Amino acid sequence: MKKFKSLLFAMFIILLNIDSQACTNFLVTKGASVDGSNFITYAADSHIRYGELYFTPAADWTPGSMRAIYDRGTNAIRGYVPQPAHTYQVVGYINENQVALGETTFGGRTELIDPKGLIDYGSLMFMALERSTSAREAIKIMADLVEEYGYGSDGETFSISDANEVWYMEIIGKGYNPVYDKKSNDTVNADKGAVWVAIRIPDGYVSGHANAARITNFPLRDGKKSITDKDWKKLYNQDVEVIYKHDIIDFAKRKKYFIGKDADFDFSAAFAPVDFSAARICDLRVWMMFNDVCDDMDQYWDYATGKNLDNPRMPLYVKPNRKISLDDMMYFMRNHFQNTELDKSQGAGAEPFGSPYRWTPLYWEYEGHEYFHERSTVTQQTGFSFIAQTRNWLPNEIGGIIWFGVDDTNSTVYTPFYCSISEVTEEFRQGNGNMITYSDNSAFWLFNRVAHFKYLFYNRVIGDIQKVQNELETSYQEQVKATDAKALSMIENSKEETIAFLTDFSSQAGQNTFRRWKELDNFLLVKYLDSNIKQEENGRFIDNGHGYPAKPKQAGYPDSWKKRIVEEM
């Protein structure tokens, strides 16, 4: 049990970028998982992000075809880039080749954002998925795109996986350095592009990131295990474990972000120095996951809680003390510091009904002092989240699954959608409602209705929610086993029929999630109407024998809340 005295820490805080503290990713390699799957997770935390399952079919493009680049933050068109001859199908954040991507923003040095950079982090992800057949190829595609068109986002961390490998990549722009170009008779950016490092997570290990740059020192170019972008021809050499931009250290020295020997270069220290916020608000989420699977994380507690930033930083990856299951991945995504003294369901901030949620803003001021709420993986402003599962013993059509959920991870249902499906069921389909347009058959809006009931009476209703959540997720895992086997028996005879079968299964799963959650929504309204608690047994309400409900319970407030009321009288 980890100890810390206060849920709120009174201090003035210098922040690199408050708005960037969103999203959480966990990475698990096949050698660290129960069944040999690779897993990456992603929680898309945003106050404006709508929960829907994106779908882009494969396509062939004629010469001259262009792709619009949409800004991920505003949805405005930033510009256009040429399409390749062929693009692959993408379902959410996994493509038909079992390549999956997730991200978190770490911000870093704001002067390194290129205001004229065409490519932002969102378009970088989607184009990599549309064009790649492996995680390594996705890295090259992203590097080439920002090199050619410029990078116009904050510092980003990417989780990249395929059926065989899991990679961790951090990237940040090079700012805007205008010079006159005689050839074009125009001003160009002499520093167009980005600096970046990509590291393969060793098989048998796990990693994570949550809005703080975590790459520190890394092996420099040796031509075997560590290469730069000048060695792309060696990209598919399986001995290669590190790939980085060739001028990253020279650039850092020129900008005076780093002074010293090349061997001592530290990516995070140069481009996103750790402050209290990066540790306590960001890395602490990773610490919680690591602590759940490792025995020796106490040594990093003072760092992760921001008490002592001089303490050793957490390693980029750790070897777990057990094999990780899909259930574990779901649990990691539902962490609110439970089982520690930072448990958000305890203390004054959780009263009166034990809620692990804190309403924005994250940082707040009272009588001239600045305070903060704890930031856990669980947060109310999640638009959607997923667990991408990739499996190398199955054909791509069957091996790649995105376990997709909308809204808050604590009360979502991770529903399986195979990467080869030909369409997304309407309840999860892109365009069915949006953040300012309600839709009766949208999973996002339905899950938000239930979540808002939970926010009102958390410790009363969470058990009812988790009962149905567990029922659905357990049943889907069993159904996927049978579906895998059936699809595998079909695919040699007809790939088209197999895809139709997997599409039908995924659609039925999505429809079933919606239907069962609608039943739960109705059940909660009836059971907890007007703060009464109707008596029920196995989901059936008990009457008094004459058509009226049996006398409802009136739970009132906990003693801790009564005490506060009395003391404040």
Give the H/E segment covering residue 526: helix 495-527
Q: Which of 526, 505, 518 is nearest to 425 (CA)?
A: 505
Distance CA 344, CA 350 (A): 6
376 touches 285 (CB < 8 A): yes
State which amino acid sits at residue 388.
A
Residue 447: per-residue pLDDT: 98
Angle at the Cα of 68 (from 114 to 506), degrees rounded to 5? 115
Residue 21: per-residue pLDDT: 54
The model carries a pTM of 0.95
Burial 210-234 (b: 16+ CB within 10 A, else e): bbbbbbbebeebeeeebbbbebeee
Strand segments, DSSP code E, in 86-214 are: 86-87, 90-91, 94-95, 100-107, 155-161, 166-173, 178-181, 186-189, 194-200, 206-209
Residue 33: per-residue pLDDT: 98
| Alpha helices (H) in 171-283, listed in sequence order | 248-254, 267-271, 276
Distance CA 342, CA 4 (A): 7
Burial 444-474 (b: 16+ CB within 10 A, else e): bbbbbbbbebbbebbbbbbebbeebbeebbe
DSSP state of 185: T
CB within 8 Å of 373: residues ≥ 6 apart: 8, 349, 358, 362, 363, 364
Distance CA 502, CA 243 (A): 36
279 touches 210 (CB < 8 A): no
Distance CA 533, CA 339 (A): 28
**Sites in the chain below the pLDDT cut of 50:** 1-20
Residue 229: per-residue pLDDT: 97
Residue 152: per-residue pLDDT: 96
Residues shown for the chain:
569
Distance CA 22, CA 156 (A): 12
Q: Report the relative pairing of strands 226-228 and 242-244 from DSSP bridges.
A: parallel
Residue 255: per-residue pLDDT: 98
309 touches 276 (CB < 8 A): yes
How large is the C-alpha radius of gyration of the chain?
25
Kindly state the tokens that stand for 192: 């167009």
How many CA atoms lie less than 13 Å away from 65 in the CB half-sphere? 11
